[in-house]
Structure 1
Amino acid sequence: MPQITIDHSGSLDHVDWEAFAVELHPVIVETAAARIEACKTRVARTEEDVVGAEAAGHAIVHVTIALLAGRSDETKAKLTEAVLDLLRKYIEPEDGVTLHASAEVRDLDPSYRQFDR
């Protein structure tokens, strides 16, 4: 915990997602009182993206941060805004492409368990 997932359009392959994650982890630590060594990020490239009736001219990125329950809605909103600010830093506007960036912070299900070896 935290479990972080970044889903992004293939047209965003040029983004340095590893650097984004390395910069995101301390933000999560500072905002949500997590431990840096507990932050785990997976980046997944989506193969097909459609927005409305169009399959071209759009790029999508969605960041999900799953935390153990107990953070206030205010803390979650603050973290979501910080994620969007960081995305703005890493993804430059591109002519003819509309970027759809979103983020959410949610609670992990009470059944969540983990182990590290």
Structure 2
Amino acid sequence: MPQIIVDHSDILEDAFDREGFARALHEATVEIAAAKPEGCKTQFRPSACTVYGYEDPGARGHAVVHVTIGLLPGRGDETKAKLAETALELLRRHVADAAFTLHASAEVRDLDPSYRTFAR
């Protein structure tokens, strides 16, 4: 914990500093949500097809990024909102300007009580 998943359009491949974003988001998550650094894990899931509005997906004029941060229960709404806002600010810094319009969103939610983990 936390479990961070970043879904994004694959056209961001050359414009998105994923490693830098993950490091910065981990630091912010430790500071804002009192997470343990060794608990921060981020997965990036590029999507080969992103459809925006009525635009032809082949036009590739829009890129989408959605960050989901799952935390163990106990953080208040204010903490979650601050972390989501910080994630969006970090995206602004780690996605370079390009020939597409970037649509970014972030959500911080409580992990389900059934959440379990192991490492080996």
Task: Output the TM-score relative to the length of structure 2.
Answer: 0.93
Identity %: 59
How well do the aligned residues superpose, as a CA RMSD in angstroms? 0.9
Q: Give the aligned partner of residue 32 of structure 1.
A: 33
- The more displaced of 7-16 and 27-36 is 7-16
- Partners of 1:37 and 1:80 in 2: how far apart? 20
Once the two structures are superposed, residues 47-82 of structure 1 have per-residue CA deviations (whole angstroms, 9 ceiling, x without a partner) of: 100011112310001110000011100000000000
Secondary structure class of the residue paired with 1:65? strand
Q: Give the aligned partner of residue 85 of structure 2.
A: 81
1:104 equivalent in alignment to 2:107: yes
How many pairs were matched up?
A: 116
Secondary structure class of the residue paired with 1:30? helix
Tell me if the contact between 2:6 and 2:66 (Cα under 8 Å) persists in the aligned partners.
yes
Secondary structure class of the residue paired with 1:83? helix
Q: What amino acid sits opposite 1:10 in the alignment?
A: D
Q: Give the aligned partner of residue 50 of structure 2.
A: 49
Pick from 63, 68, 74: which aligns with 2:67?
A: 63
Q: How much does 1:101 deviate? A: 0.4
Flag as ranges the 4+ runs of structure 1 deviating above 2 A. Answer: 92-95
Q: How much does 1:29 deviate? A: 0.3
Task: Output the TM-score relative to the length of structure 1.
Answer: 0.95
- Provide structure 2 residue ranges, at least 5 long, that are not aligned to the other structure: none
- The more displaced of 36-45 and 7-16 is 7-16
Secondary structure class of the residue paired with 2:108? strand
